[in-house]
Structures are given as structure tokens and as C-alpha cells.
Chains A and B, each alone.
Chain A
Amino acid sequence: MSDRKVLQIQQISGHPGPIPGLGTQREPVVCKLIDTTTCIGCKACEVACVEWNDMPFQETTFDNTYQTMPDTTWNFWNLIKFNEHETEDGAVQWLMRKHQCMHCADPGCLRACPADGAIVQYTNGIVDFQQQYCIGCQFCVSGCPFNVPKFNNSTKKVYKCTLCSDRVGQGLEPACIKACPTGCLHFGTKEDMKALAETRVQQLQEHSGFKDAGVYDPETIGGTSVIYVLHDAKNPEMYGGLPAKPRIPPSFTVWKDIFKPLGLFASMMGLVGVVLHYVTQGPRRVQPQPPVKYEEGGIESKKGE
């Protein structure tokens, strides 16, 4: 029961009716704080993720950087992205960012998903894929602003970071947090993490000379349950392509919420239209229509039998 309490469902993908147990209980929103300024690129979090989630270690390609893989894969959910950035004064900055699902408050993946129950969002903010209900359409892939969900071609299902919902449900922190040796990763309630992040940003601005330091918690998708402290919050793109203004493609929202019901209504009107035509106008018979005289006679003679 204990995990049920923590993993209270907030939203369900493609679900027609009311969501069972919606709003019966509120748990604090959890959050992972990633302080990119103290990441040393040790990849302990990558290993912890692979181990905890029981993924096989796999071969990779060497691309002359420290990056483990070119990108995350269906069985590799947590990747440190490396970027050598040259600042205006010629100094080289080595930027590292932990890339995984952001657990958006308004998840594009969940909005796009047509399968009932394939994606759930718990009230604590964790967005979880339920592969047994996934139909492999990959709509979530195009709905996610961070390019996170990854398709497995052999199982035809989509996978991504769960924020260790299994661990969090039991009151533990995610595996990556547990493994981080520098304290660059923190885990707690969203409020606590935001406060912690703000404190750190202040520190960076006042004592370390990073004037543009800031917190990455994009408002365009209602905030995320994974937030970053960046040296330069004005340029999140340089951290391995962290979008400055992540957005769910507007076509998804507009189409799903407005045009789909409208379109269905219109086509149903077509159906109503032909029925009405039949009732009011009747069929168009071949010519000539038989004389009325005959019809009356026919009916009468039938009656007479």
C-alpha cells in the first residue's frame, strides 16, 4: 500500500472518463535538482541508472568526447552530455549536463499519447510509462519537447527515465541521486529544491562571478520535476541542446482539444444529414414512376385477397 499513497495518479493518457481516485490525496511534488556547476562528469549516475533498472551494458561509439553515447536509447535513460564552450574572453568552459526525462508538469508525451493508461502522471509529479498499455505509435516521441522517449523496435514499446518511481514509491531517492559523489544531484520536494537552487544561484552570482547564473525550470510547460542550476541561464542551448523555450507542438494541443471533437461532430452531422435527406426527400427513383392509378389498384386488390 505504501507506494500507492505516494504514487497517486494525477493524469492518464488517452483516458476517456474520470480518473480513478483523482484528487483524493495530495503528496508534495518531488523534484530532482541538477547543479551543472558541480558536476564532474564522472558518470556514476549513468551507471547507477543502468544497474538499478537492470539494463544490459552496451557498446558505444567513440566520438572524441567524454560522452558515453551519442544519445539516450530505449535502455539507456540517463546521459551526461559534454560540451566545450568558449566564452567571450577566450576561456574554455566544460559544460556537463545530465540528460533524462524532465517529468514536465504539462507533459507533451502524455498529451500526445492515444493509449489509455500508457502514460500516467502521479500527483507527486513523476511521469511514468506503463509499457503494457503502450501501442507503439510513438506519438509521445513527437509530443516531447526534450526528445526523451525512445522506441524499442523489437518490443514496439517506448521507454524513458521513470525518476525511479519504484524507489520513490518506497520512500527512497532515485538511483542517480544516491550515486552522485559531489552532491551535484539533490532530491526532495519541488519547493525545497527550488529554494536550494535559488540559494546556489545567488552564491554563483555573488561569489563566483557567474552573473547570468540561474535556475532552469521552464514555465512554457508549467515547470518540470527535474530542474537545473546553470552558470548561464540565458543560454540553456549550449548545455547539449537544452531548449530555452520547450514547447509541446501546438498542433497537438489545438488538434486534440478543439479540432478532434469538432471534426467528429461534423462527420456525425454528415450521417444525420443523409438520414434527414431520406426522411424529408425520400429516394430518387428511376423514371418513369409507375402511375398512381396502378398503385391504388394494387393496394386495393391486395386488400381484397
Chain B
Amino acid sequence: MATRAEHFDRRPRPSNPIDQIGRTVVYEGELMRHRAYTRFLHWSYGIFFFLALLSGFGIYLPWIFAWFTPLFGGGAMTRLLHPWFGLGFVFFFGLQVLNWTSLMNWKPSDSKWMGRIRDYVTHRETMESEDVGFFNAGQKLMFWEIVIGSAVYLITGVIMWFPATFGRALVSISYVLHDISALIMLAGIFVHIYLSTFGEPGTIQAMTRGTVSEAWAWTHHPGWYRQLTGRDPYQSVEDARERLQEEPPQTDPTKAL
């Protein structure tokens, strides 16, 4: 299983030598989801995002200026570091864009997914439909939102960084756009973090260890599961249900799947 999963991970993207660095241990009943390089990028821009967010927030709102700026060594230091945090985010996220674009293509099935979003949010559908592959439409949307958001971020940020060069009108517009894109990204991040931790248990493992349980894969990404294992995701659920009935798991039921 592990070999096929690794194989899949290499196939859709041009083989990248950096991608071969690092190790992902795939245990029995698990599937390889994100290689070490992808995980490294994700955490790198994640950290820079929060550094930029917290340092930016100090400057953004006078009410929290006094709480947030001391984290970075005072107001002037915060101001000095903030753009560099932003650049760090853009750099690592840019690499991830190169890494992921092919997986993020919007397909007709994604529009269908958006139409069914109510059912997913209210759990009326417990499993995703079969056309959901490696990423679902929600994840793609979030990805492209951040691509656009960080482009706005970068352009307006550079303008605000050198106000003398770009002039008053441009700077004062940038100031507003920069903050709007920050707020949209912030809202997206809340949802992202919630879903990957509390909202959909078993997800965060994809970014910590790089693997997910098979049950997670057929539940949330049936198309990917089928592509990877060659098995029918719905049949796999039935099989698992039978196994459960025969010999109830001794410990945490989700783990045994």
C-alpha cells in the first residue's frame, strides 16, 4: 500500500529532488498524503503567517497595540519585522503554490460540491461524494483565496513599506486593501484550523506525520482513495462496518479502522 501511495504522490507533479528529502513512515492501515517537503512548506508559511498576523495586529488596532507589540520587542521593532514576516510567508507559500497548483485546478465537480455545501456543513452527508479527489472544493477555494490575498498583500505591502516612493494616494488605498485581505485570510484561517483539528478528527495527522488513516481517506476524499488503492470507497466502508460488527475494536474505534 505504502509504495502505491508514494507513487501517487510523485506522479501528478514533476519529480522534485527536494521532495525526496525527509521521511514519511506509513503504518498499516494508513495512506501517504503529504511528503516531508510539503509539510515543511506548510508549517513554514504557517509560522510566518502568524508572525505577520500578530505583528500586523499590533499596528492595525490601537486597542491591542499595547498587548501585541511587546511580543516583538516594542512598536518600532514590530514595524521593522512585520514586512519581513510577510515576505517569509509569501516566499514559502509561493513554493507551495508551485507544488500544489496542479492539484488545485477547479473542476465541474467542485462547483457541484459548492452546491451541496449545506449538506456537508450540517452533516446530512457523512461521506464526500466520489468525485472528490485529493482536495475538495472548500480546500481549493481557500487555497485560491490565499493566492489572491497574498498577491494583494505583497503589492500593497511593498507600497506601504516605501511610502515616499509610491506617493500618498497609492499608499492610502493600499492601507485599506492590505487590511481587507488580512481580514478575509484571517476568517479563512479560523475555518481551516477548526476543520483540521476539532471539525474533522484525524486530519491534522496529514500535516504532522504526512499520513492519514484509510478510513479518513475514503470518508473525506473517496476519489483519491479509489485512485490510490484501486478499491471502491463505498465497498470499503461496508467491509469496515462488517469487521466492526464481528470484532469490536478494543481501544479507540476510529484508530482500528
Contact = CB atoms under 8 A, between A and B. Distances in A.
Contacts of A271: 190
B175 A139 contact: yes
A75 to B, nearest CB: 16
Interface string A248-274: 010110010001100110110011011
Nearest to B162: A138
A282 B62 contact: no
Contact of A267 (B59, B186, B199, B200): B186
Interface stretch (B3-11, B31-39, B76-84, B96-104): B76-84
A135 B78 contact: yes
A278 B202 contact: no
Interface residues of B, number: 58
Interface stretch (A36-44, A52-60, A97-105, A283-291): A283-291
A116 B202 contact: no
A286 B213 CA distance: 9
Contact of B75 (A115, A142, A249): A115
B190 A270 contact: yes
Contact of A277 (B194, B202, B220): B194
Contacts of B1: none
Contact of B202 (A137, A147, A286, A288): A286
A178 interface: no
A294 B183 contact: no
Given A137-B79, A251-B172, A290 B198 contact: no
A187 B54 CA distance: 46
Contacts of A297: 248
A257 to B, nearest CB: 12
A230 interface: no
B176 A251 contact: yes
A151 interface: yes
Contacts of A285: 126, 201, 219, 254
Contact of A147 (B69, B126, B168): B168
Contact of A291 (B122, B172, B194, B244): B244
Contacts of A135: 59, 69, 75-76, 78-79
Contacts of A138: 163-164
Contacts of A16: 62-63, 65-66
A252 B199 contact: no
A156 B194 CA distance: 39
A270 B175 CA distance: 23
**What 5 pairs between A and B have smallest CB-CB spacing?**
A249-B172, A290-B253, A135-B75, A274-B194, A142-B171
Given A266-B187, A284-B123, 4 more contacts: A260-B60, A286-B216, A289-B126, A290-B253
Interface of A: 14-16, 114-116, 133-139, 141-143, 147, 151, 156, 249, 251-252, 255, 259-260, 263-264, 266-267, 270-271, 273-274, 277-278, 281-291, 294, 297-298
Interface of B: 59-63, 65-66, 69, 75-76, 78-80, 120-123, 126-127, 160, 163-164, 168-169, 171-173, 175-176, 179-180, 183, 186-187, 190-191, 194, 198-202, 213, 215-216, 218-220, 237, 240-241, 244-245, 248-249, 253-254, 257
